[in-house]
Amino acid sequence: MAAEAIERYTADVIILGAGGAGLRAALAIAMRQPAARIALISKVYPMRSHTVAAEGGAAGVTQSHDSLDAHFHDTVSGGDWLCEQDVVAYFVEHAHEELVQLEHWGCPWSRTGDGRAAVRAFGGMAIERTWFAADRTGFHMLHTLFQTSIRYPSIQRFDEHFCVDLVIDDGRVQGVLAVEIASGEFRLIAAKALIIATGGAGRVFRDNTNGGIVTGDGMALAYRHGVPLRDMEFVQYHPTCMPGTGLLFTEACRGEGGFLLNSEGYRYLQDYGLGPASAEPRNKAMELGPRDRLSQAFWHESRKGRTLHGPHGEYVHLDLRHLGERKLRERLPQIRELALTYLGIDPARAPVPVLPAVHYTMGGILADGRTAAPLAGLYSAGECSSVGIHGANRLGSNSLTELLVFGKVAGEQALAFAQGVGHGAPARLGALAEASRAAALEPLQRTGSGERLATLRNELTRTMQEGCGIYRSAPSLEATCARLAQLRQAWHGAQLDDRSRSWNTEWLALLELGFQLDVAQAMAHAALARRESRGAHQRLDAGCTERDDALFLKHSLAYHDPAGGPPRIEWSPVTITRSAPGTRVYGAAAERAGVTLHA
Amino acid sequence: MPEPARAAARSITLEVLRYRPEIEAAPVWQSYVVPFSEDLSVLQALQHVKDELDGSLSFRWSCRMAICGSCGMMIDGRPRLACQTFLRELLPGPVRLEALAHWPIQRDLVIDASGFIAGLERIKPYLIPRQPRPLAAGEYRQSPHELELFEPYSACINCLLCYAACPQFGLDPGFTGPGLLALLHRYNADSRDGGRAQRMAAVNAEHGVWSCTAVGYCSEVCPKAVDPAHAVNQNKVNSAIDYLRHLLAPRGAPP
């Protein structure tokens, strides 16, 4: 098996991942420098990427009474002051032009009566600034970007190619080794720069909104080569997901005026500093509070015995009945379809059962404000990246815009780097690729009686859910860390039914599980080390239940241990430019603060 | 089926058409028995097979919510998305699962979709503006009514069910087909676009819109109510108009 030659390709820049961020990066390069050769590699066809599932919208300051400053402050306070403030400033400044750019490429944004792009309210945003295409915003953004990319012949796609390793030589990224899934054949793609845009890692948790492909591949690939993962303990639970499957009911349901009700039919969020409960939606109040607070309120309602119980456990009600069928059809057609098809519920007539599920990884590959990793030639953008805008809790509708703003930056930065360096020595790259191929093929040659893949994966998602969920504590996290170490051992002996090469998705899923274990370890160990509560990271153990700026107004950095041990956690400072850490206030308190601010 | 029989169903049989190019010379049927529950989808049943019974069964899937377009297959002879088809609709079974009709099989339930991707690249599925518009000019004005004229056709998830439903595509794999003709119409019908003349070359060509024999099954199976049959009709109208214009004003006429 080792005798077959590895097919070789050469590009200037490789983009790994063809979702929103990867496609935007590819377009940035193709438009800036048509002569630059781009290799766009994805384990699925681009339009299958998980950007497709984003529903609600993309934020950018649009209305005349809104301001960049307001978007900045919503984002920084929403992130519990763990944001890189200089990066947030860049982000809000470039958000609107990117949404316009997408409009010029044909994105079917929903419109106001006079033909402008419409904006809707979103959680944690003081003023309506979320552009949307009904409730299929990510779908339309992805298809628009993919279809626009077809214009540019300099983008060479490697669809359905699975990346098994980065090729790093002479202190910089020089290429990747990928498997063509249909044939099982390996391809070495050499390049002068690499952008990782592979998305998040939500599939390490049992209840999640993510597609099956969201397995943290790019995060783990960079991590294994010494690049730290930053702020991995911050994992976002989306408060309104479908019991059993975790499928998402967009925050736009609440932006359009939906209510959350407990078993007594009571809008319980008013008990958690988000009230008072008014009939009309109010920005930054009640159901339009931030996602971390809403998911935590569910947990407390559960403790109080005020949730409902169904075949898939506890839930609360998302009540959309008062919006009426016409508005549901116009503004939330997919939500209506999901509820009808999957639950047999017409949201115009009955409340929809929902619960929190893992939705988004705030942390990711360490990136500076211009997307560069601390490894020459490596850049990252999108959910896999920690460029620094989300802090401890992402605001809904900031991430779709992030794909555009930082996808473009990553493309331009990677291109500039590639123009300044040459290609590496082919013989050396070939030798590195041979070694990576042997490691990737090893599971196909195992003999013995190890565990089934699914057994290990189920155990991974169970232990993450139980020990590293909405609320954590030192004992729960220690137990999860110990279990993850055992699972890593067991992974090396896992047995496959399928030893073939063409479309062997069992083999690829085992490689994905290896990525997931790396990412899960980074999450759990960073969570254990952060002995405070901030944003989406909430601890129950004594001394850790409050935010502690004196000790933990810092980013965590998880470093991979090449010897197979647990990650090493280090800390790095947070860039504070103009917003000193304060108290996050929502509901009436936020309105009072707003009055004071403007008085 | 009657309620008592439904309640009694504890398991259901899947009959899957397998083809592994390294093992079988031709496709063969294989049966799996999976536990039944009211809310289990065909995709979840397949995942159960892969996780617990036979890791070698291959199929595409990702989002689980009928938006990524990966999991199209023939389910009891009809093209459907596995993630939004429930076992309760298919009682008492057995449920027959095959790769999407009219496409080459790469393995098991996985088709070779490269022909569709090549077609996508041919039809210019992107906005071709009448004149360049700088970002500083802001967004185009487009009324909600103008949006409505093309938005339904922009909802195509490229799941290829309509191709498996299309008898003409079955006879002529070169036929542009319903999904791509709908997408082409989506751009032609967009008030911001000026590229119709360029795209109509694909529509008028031998494998273009006139190959359609108006069966309409494509629209019936579309999981997103895109109505490709209607888009194809619109293309036929546009194609006919272009032809007439060409006849009446052969030289110097604006497109």
Kind and range of the H or E run holding B75: strand B72-75
| ipTM of the complex model | 0.96
Q: How far apart are CA A392 and CA A290, in angstroms?
A: 11
Chain A: residue whose CA lies nearest to B105: A182
CA gap A237, B151 in Å, rounded: 31
Q: Looking at beta carbons, which residues of chain B come within 8 Å of A337?
A: 66
Q: Which residues of chain B lie closer than 8 angstroms to A211, CB-CB?
A: 62-64, 68
CA distances from A488 to A220, A423, A433, A564 (A): 14, 36, 24, 8
Interface of B with A in 131-190 (CB under 8 A): 133, 135, 138-144, 146-147, 150-151, 154-155, 157-158, 183, 187, 190
Domain with residue A344: its CATH number is 3.90.700.10
What CATH number is given to the structural domain containing A455?
Answer: 1.20.58.100
Q: Does B103 touch chain A (CB under 8 A)?
A: no
Closest residue to A106, CB basis, from B70, B117, B190: B190
Question: Per-residue pLDDT tens for A226-273?
Answer: 999 999 999 999 999 999 999 999 999 999 999 999 999 999 999 999
Cα–Cα distance measured from residue A472 to residue A454, given in angstroms and rounded to the nearest whole number:
25
Q: Determine the Cα–Cα distance for residues A130 and A14; give it in Å rounded to an integer.
A: 31
Residues in A closer than 8 angstroms to B63, CB to CB, are 48, 50, 52-53, 211-212
- Say what the pLDDT of residue B112 is: 98
A514 found inside a domain? yes
Q: Stretch B161-188: mean pLDDT, rounded? A: 95
Say which CATH superfamily domain B114-248 falls into.
Alpha-helical ferredoxin (1.10.1060.10)
Name every chain A residue with its beta carbon within 8 A of the beta carbon of B113.
45
Shortest Cα distance, chain A CAs vs residue B139, angstroms: 5
Interatomic CA distance for residues A286 and A289, integer angstroms: 6
Interacting residues of A288 by C-beta distance below 8 A, sequence separation 6+: A121, A122, A123, A124, A125, A254, A255, A281, A282
Residue type, A390: H
Which residues lie closer than 8 Å to A307 by C-beta, 6 or more apart? A262, A263, A298, A301, A314, A315, A316
Dump pLDDT digits (tens) for A571-587.
999 999 999 999 998 99
Taking an 8 Å cut-off on Cβ atoms, the answer to whether B126 and A47 are in contact is no
Q: List, for residues A492-537, the tens digit of each pLDDT value.
A: 999 999 999 999 999 999 999 999 999 999 999 999 999 999 999 9
pLDDT value for B7: 53
Q: A238 an active-site residue?
A: yes
SS3 assignment for A398-421: HHHHHHHHHHHHHHHHHHHHHHCC
**How close is the nearest chain B Cα to the Cα of A457, in Å?**
10
Order of strands across the sheet with A119-120? A58-59, A130-131, A119-120
pLDDT tens track for A463-478: 999 999 999 999 999 9
pLDDT at B237 over 90: no
pLDDT at B4 over 90: no
Residue B214 predicted with pLDDT over 90: no
Measured between CA atoms, the residue of chain B closest to residue A505 is: B58
CB B56 to CB A498 under 8 A? yes
Are A503 and B106 inside 8 Å of each other by CB?
Answer: yes
A302 located within any domain: yes
Q: How many CB atoms lie within 10 A of CB B242?
A: 16
By C-alpha distance, the chain A residue nearest B155 is: A140
- Contact between A48 and B69 using a beta-carbon 8 Å cutoff: yes
Q: Does residue A425 form part of some domain?
A: no
pLDDT of residue B255: 41
3-state per-residue secondary structure call for A519-574:
HHHHHHHHHHHCCCCECCEEECCCCCCCCCHHHHCEEEEEECCCCCCCCEEEEEEC
Q: Where do the domains of chain B lie?
A: 3-111, 114-248
A503 contacts: CB under 8 Å, gap ≥ 6: A181, A182, A184, B58, B106, B107, B108, B110
**Options A50, A238, A560, A584, the catalytic residue:** A238
Q: Is B154–A143 a contact, with Cβ atoms under 8 angstroms apart?
A: yes
Comparing CA positions, the residue from A405, A362, A358 lying closest to residue A383 is A362
Of A308-312, A352-356, B181-185, B197-201, the range with the lowest mean pLDDT is B197-201
From the list A482, A519, A561, A479, the residue with the least C-alpha distance to A220 is: A519
For A152, name the nearest residue in chain B, comparing CA atoms only. B121
User: CA of B146: which chain A residue's CA is closest?
Assistant: A115
CB contact under 8 A, B107 and A502: yes
CA distance A397 to A529: 29
Distance of CA B170 to the CA centre of its chain: 14
Q: How far is B100 from chain A (nearest CA, A)?
A: 16
Same domain, A346 and A447: no
Query: How far apart (Å, rounded) are the C-alpha atoms in residues B152 and A136?
Result: 12
Query: Burial of B248 by CB count in 10 Å (0-12 exposed, 13-18 middle, 19+ buried)?
Result: exposed
Q: Which domain holds residue A476?
A: 442-548
B241: pLDDT confidence band, cut at 50, 70 and 90?
confident
Tell me what the pLDDT averaged over chain A comes to. Answer: 96
Q: To the nearest whole angstrom, how far is the Cα of B247 from the nearest Cα of chain A?
A: 32
Q: What is the mean pLDDT of chain B?
A: 91
| Shortest CA gap A271–chain B (Å) | 33
Element (H, E) at B231: helix B228-248
**pLDDT at residue B208 in the model:** 74
Residues in chain B within 8 Å Cβ distance of A136 = 67, 155
- Could you tell me if residue A510 is inside a domain? yes
Of B69, B112, B129, the CB nearest to A47: B69
Buried b (16+ CB within 10 A) or exposed e, A325-356: eeebeebbbbbbbbbebbbebebbeebbbbbb
For residue A69, which amino acid is it?
Answer: D
- Which residue of B39, B68, B133 is in closest CB contact with A244? B39
If DSSP states are collapsed to H, E and C, what string results for A117-184? Answer: ECEECCCCCCCCCEECCCCCHHHHHHHHHHHHHCCCCCEEEECCEEEEEEEEECCEEEEEEEEECCCC
Give the distance from residue B248's alpha carbon to the nearest chain A alpha carbon, in angstroms. Answer: 33
- State the smallest CA–CA distance between residue A353 and chain B in angstroms: 14
Whether the predicted pLDDT of B242 surpasses 80: no
User: Percent of chain A having pLDDT more than 70?
Assistant: 98
A310, part of any domain: yes
* Chain segment A48-89, per-residue pLDDT in tens: 999 999 999 999 999 999 999 999 999 999 999 999 999 999
pLDDT for B231: 86
Catalytic residue among A94, A157, A254, A530, which?
A254
- Asked whether the beta carbons of residue A106 and residue B133 sit closer than 8 angstroms, the reply is no
Residues of chain A positioned with their CB less than 8 A from the CB of B112: 182
Q: Does the structure show a pLDDT above 60 at B3?
A: no
- Does any domain span residue A270? yes
Query: Residue A5: which pLDDT band, with cuts at 50, 70 and 90?
Result: confident
Question: Any chain A CB within 8 A of the CB of B99?
Answer: no
- Answer whether residue B206 shows pLDDT above 90: no
pLDDT tier, B120 (very low <50, low <70, confident <90, very high otherwise): very high
Which of the pair, B252 or A136, is modelled with greater confidence?
Answer: A136
Write the CATH number of the domain with boundaries B3-111.
3.10.20.30
* A532 close to A547: Cβ distance less than 8 angstroms: yes
Within a domain: residue A177?
A: no
Q: Are A174 and A377 in contact (CB under 8 A)?
A: yes
> What is the Cα–Cα distance from B207 to A210, expressed in whole angstroms?
39
Whether the CB-CB separation of A487 and A254 falls below 8 Å is answered with: no
Q: Is A597's pLDDT higher than 50?
A: no
Based on the domain organization, do A246 and A350 belong to the same domain? yes
3-class DSSP assignment, residue B97: strand
Q: What is the model's pLDDT at position B249?
A: 63
Of the candidates B62, B112, B187, the beta carbon closest to that of A211 is on B62
Averaged pLDDT for residues A432-459: 96
With 70 as the cut, is the pLDDT of residue A484 above it? yes
pLDDT given for residue B1 in this prediction: 46
Q: Which residue of B has its CA nearest to A212?
A: B62
CA distance A145 to chain B (A): 9
Mean pLDDT of the region A117-142: 96
Residues of A in contact with B69 (CB under 8 A): 47-48
Residue A595's pLDDT is: 53
DSSP string for residues in A336-389: HHHIIIII---TTTS-EEEEEEEEEES-EEE--TTSB-SSBTEEE-STTEE-SS
* pLDDT of B248 strictly over 60: yes
Instruction: Identify all chain B residues contacting A140, using CB atoms and an 8 Å cutoff.
Output: 154
Verify whether the Cβ–Cβ distance B63 to A342 is below 8 Å.
no
Name every chain A residue with its beta carbon within 8 A of the beta carbon of B192. 104, 106
Residue A120: count of CB within 10 angstroms of its CB: 22
Q: Report the number of distinct structural domains present in chain A.
A: 2
Burial of B79 (0-12, 13-18, 19+ CB in 10 A): buried
B48, B53, B56: best to mutate for the A interface, most A CBs within 10 A: B56
Do the domain assignments include residue A273?
yes
Per-residue model confidence (pLDDT) at position A205: 98
Query: Do A348 and A446 fall within a single domain?
Result: no
